[in-house]
Amino acid sequence: MNQVDQWNRLAAGRSYDRREFLRGLCGSALATTVSSVLPRRAWGSAVKRRKVVVVTFGGGARDEETFAPEGQQNIPRMLQELMPQAAFFTQVVNRGILGHYVATASLATGVYERFNNFADVSPENPTLFEYFRQSLKRPASDAWVVAPSNGFNRIGQSSHGLYTGAGASVILPKRLLAHADGSAAFGGLEHLLNDNYESPIQAPVALASEMPSEQVASMLKLSVADFAAHASTLNSPDELSLFVARRIMREVAPCLLWVTLHDIDVAHTGAFSLYLEGIRRSDTICAELWRTIQSEPEYKDQTNLLILPDFGRDSDGDAGGNGFQHHRTGDALSRTTWMMALGPDVRQNTVVDRPIESIDLTPTVAALFGCDARMSQGHLIRELGL
Amino acid sequence: MIGDAQKPSSLATQQLPLLRKLPIPLAAIMMQQIARADRLFPVELQELKRSLQALASPHSPAIEAAVRAFAALQLSPELQHLDWATDPASFVEKMSAELWSSGQIGAFHDAAKLLVPATLPTQTSPPIKPARFVTIALDRRLSAESSTPSLFLKLRPHGTFFPNVKDEEPNTLGEWLSARAAAAPAPYAHWRLSGEADRSPSPASVVSLSYDGLKSTRQQLLARFNATRNTDGASGPEGLRHTLLQLTPEQIGLASMPDPVLRAFAMEIFTGGSGTQLYATTFVQWTVREVLRRAQPQTLLARFTPRSEATSIDLRFTYPELEPPPDGRGSLIDAEMGAYLSYLNLQRLPDEGASFLVWHEGYGQALLIGNGMPGNAQSQSPITLKALLRLTT
């Protein structure tokens, strides 16, 4: 059996486990044909008002700790609040490099990027944000990325020559709290500054196209000092990201917002309890983002929310790994994860069992906006009404 | 033939003609092992010898398949021109990155798995006496919200659960370990690992390592991390990795450890393990894994003690001497997973008949896996820890 066959077999097995669990939990309908999950209402006339929020877990989460029966205690709000309104995709396979920045970049370009995960480089292929802005002639304020760590500062703009200057506004919330050298600008907030768990040391990062902190703060109508005061009440960098994302939604209301969470990646320290805390926090943040979407007039009833981990983590059974701690083996379970979709283009309470790939995200979101991610290598997820 | 006392340099010279006939990825990983020959445990050295002999002699179909699989890997011309023989560790680092970026890492892992049978003894080895036994103890300060938590749920399908275990003697596990070491003395055959330094001394035949006992080493390494990241022009994770590859045990305060193999092992726990420098629970879990994988001991006693509460890595780097207060609740969750992973690592060793015991000294709950212990079973009868240790042997 070759490697791809093996991945497919194991991924399908995992998919079955998720599907059966969800069926028992929610009574979800299993979508066997595309037509059975088409949205309940046509969206073509509403496309101009359509908004999309993407949340990625930039620190893979395994089934054992999320959607498998023994993991459900860690994701109560996704299961109880979101799942009944969602379409759930049981097999999302990532065939690329399992490093968080390069994998998130691959999600954003729809191409498996091959650059060094720790390098300070832009994606080579055009990003979703560039397709969206250039095709629809949207301003920079209409596409935002809220990302966790310094390494993600180039995620919004590819190095592709055809899309120069068409990227997203990227905000690294912690930058608002730090001096240029990365040290805390406000006492007591050091705990929010360093979250690069994949490696204890980050490559030096150029600050080329980043907005000054003051400009960001001004746009969000928040003084940096007030921001720091609020941040001091938060427990984690991901809570800081949620705070900033909400502020962006309130003050700027972009059509395309991409939030990458990262607390889960504390798993690299080998502390299982902290990894579980990260999952529970991500669960809360996803539910709170959906609540925000439904409470903000600019977003309510016209926004699709897509939630997916960038990939999984190593299985306990692979001798080359160390269980949940890393994602180094490239085994099937570390490559197979899930996606949850909510919003007007999604049939609620549905389980989609066919395998999709993580690079399918970008062409699909682009199509939801009515534009073509023409260099993407992914396929449309037709179950989202396409 | 390869002599036990051979230096890596002469071994490398001797084996170079053979290695040059092999596909470069295979040659490089074999040379990386040869370069570490003086830091290998006896079992590892035997495995290396068997691998080299298998590759040198007329090939079995399995070895032929492994060589073909390595030969099928496509390396870039730049990588092929690098000197894998002189600095195999750096070469393997670069090769690993390239295999990931070219989508060949899975094929590399598959090829390496094909080579594993060549490392195993060709003749059936007599069972080790006494049979291998791993005991994991959870300190009473590892506490749950509930007064009577249900422990070891992931392990219960594999063994018998004892909810009423008493330890009526002050040093039951220490004496048990000493007795086993005295009965079958051998280098690196009996180990004691802990988050805290041993309260009772172990005999010389027991290898003993603890998170607290290596405090100075941990702190010196964290200080090096901090210095590396603050250096102008720091080259990020790859620069750090390169720095760690060049590090010697003496540079992080391990010179007082007389045994060079153990000295190198202790360093590699911190330089190769992630989080071992920060949390006692991670140190114990990872060290159990590495001891089982590398030294393949007959006896292993590991004790999980409370790790420090979660603290910013940034802060730990900046203040290496910082030892935050303990987190007993989180530590119990960590230790339960640590015990489960330890059992899986024990299962990967090639012998049958091994025993595995995990017990929480505060809650008096234990789970025993081994001969005569049915899975998914429970024994309500009160039992002493001493009696429990005799049930499977």
Going by C-alpha positions, the residue among A225, A249, A263, A289 that lies closest to residue A82 is A289
pLDDT value at residue A5: 58
CB contact under 8 A, A204 and B307: no
Q: Structural domains in chain A?
A: 3-28+47-324+344-384 (3.40.720.10)
pLDDT value at residue A201: 54
- Token digits for A37? 């999950």
Exposure string over B124-138, b if 16+ CB within 10 A, otherwise e:
eeeebeebbbbbbbb
Chain A residue numbers with beta carbons less than 8 Å from the beta carbon of B314 are 190-191, 193-194
CB contact under 8 A, A194 and B312: yes
**Predicted-complex ipTM score:** 0.93
The HSE-up count of residue B233 (CA atoms within 13 Å, CB side) is 0
Amino acid at A240: L
- Tell me the range of A37-41, A59-63, B81-85 where mean pLDDT is highest: B81-85
> Is B257 strand, coil or helix?
coil
Average pLDDT over residues B351-357: 90
Chain A residue numbers with beta carbons less than 8 Å from the beta carbon of B107 are 3
Å between B352 CA and nearest CA of chain A? 18
CB contact under 8 A, A191 and B348: no
Which tens digit of pLDDT belongs to each residue from A57-88? 987 899 899 998 889 999 999 999 999 999 99
Instruction: For residue A293, name the pLDDT band (cuts at 50, 70, 90).
Output: very high
**Statement: residue A206 has pLDDT above 90:** no
Which of A188-197, B159-168, B189-198, B342-351 is predicted with the least confidence, judged by mean pLDDT?
A: A188-197
**Statement: residue B164 has pLDDT above 50:** yes
Judge contact between B195 and B214, C-beta under 8 A: no
**Statement: residue A43 has pLDDT above 70:** no
pLDDT value at residue A47: 62
Pairing of strands B160-162, B377-378: parallel
Which tens digit of pLDDT belongs to each residue from A276-287? 999 999 999 999
**What is the C-alpha to C-alpha distance for residues A156 and A173, in angstroms, rounded to an integer?**
15
Instruction: For residue B245, name the pLDDT band (cuts at 50, 70, 90).
Output: confident
pLDDT value at residue B3: 45
Pairing of strands A51-57, B377-378: unpaired
**What is the C-alpha to C-alpha distance for residues A304 and A342, in angstroms, rounded to an integer?**
6
pLDDT value at residue B234: 56
**What is the C-alpha to C-alpha distance for residues A83 and A78, in angstroms, rounded to an integer?**
6
**What is the C-alpha to C-alpha distance for residues B151 and B172, in angstroms, rounded to an integer?**
21
Q: Which of A153, A265, A273 to substitute to test the interface with B, most B CBs within 10 Å?
A: A273
Q: Which residue has the higher pLDDT, A20 or B330?
A: B330
Å between B169 CA and nearest CA of chain A? 32
Which of A29-43, A246-260, B137-151, B200-214 is predicted with the least confidence, judged by mean pLDDT?
A: A29-43
Closest residue of chain A to B105, computed from CA coordinates: A330
The secondary element (H helix, E strand) that includes residue B137 is strand B133-138
Instruction: For residue A182, name the pLDDT band (cuts at 50, 70, 90).
Output: low
Residue window 238-277, chain A: list those with CB within 8 Å of chain B: 266, 268-274, 276-277
The secondary element (H helix, E strand) that includes residue B268 is helix B260-272
pLDDT value at residue B129: 79
Å between B307 CA and nearest CA of chain A? 9
**What is the C-alpha to C-alpha distance for residues B237 and A117, in angstroms, rounded to an integer?**
10
Judge contact between B151 and B372, C-beta under 8 A: no
Å between A104 CA and nearest CA of chain B? 15
pLDDT value at residue B235: 63
The overall average pLDDT reported for chain A is: 84
Instruction: For residue A9, name the pLDDT band (cuts at 50, 70, 90).
Output: low
The shortest CB-CB distance from A203 to any of B103, B106, B236 is to: B236
pLDDT value at residue B239: 74
Residue with tokens 């299985």: A315
Judge contact between B303 and B179, C-beta under 8 A: no
Q: Which residue has the higher pLDDT, A235 or B353?
A: B353
CB contact under 8 A, A326 and B331: no
- Tell me the range of A13-22, A37-46, A234-243, B141-150 where mean pLDDT is highest: B141-150
Which tens digit of pLDDT belongs to each residue from B273-308? 999 999 999 999 999 999 999 999 999 999 999 999
**What is the C-alpha to C-alpha distance for residues A233 and B131, in angstroms, rounded to an integer?**
54
Average pLDDT over residues A343-348: 92
Chain B residue numbers with beta carbons less than 8 Å from the beta carbon of A272 are 333-334, 336-338
**What is the C-alpha to C-alpha distance for residues B7 and B36, in angstroms, rounded to an integer?**
9
**What is the C-alpha to C-alpha distance for residues A204 and A43, in angstroms, rounded to an integer?**
45
Instruction: For residue B113, name the pLDDT band (cuts at 50, 70, 90).
Output: confident
Å between B108 CA and nearest CA of chain A? 11
CA-CA-CA-CA dihedral for A365, A367, A369, A374, to nearest 10: 90
**Statement: residue B208 has pLDDT above 60:** yes
Which tens digit of pLDDT belongs to each residue from B65-74? 999 999 999 9
**Statement: residue A40 has pLDDT above 50:** no
Chain B residue numbers with beta carbons less than 8 Å from the beta carbon of A74 are none
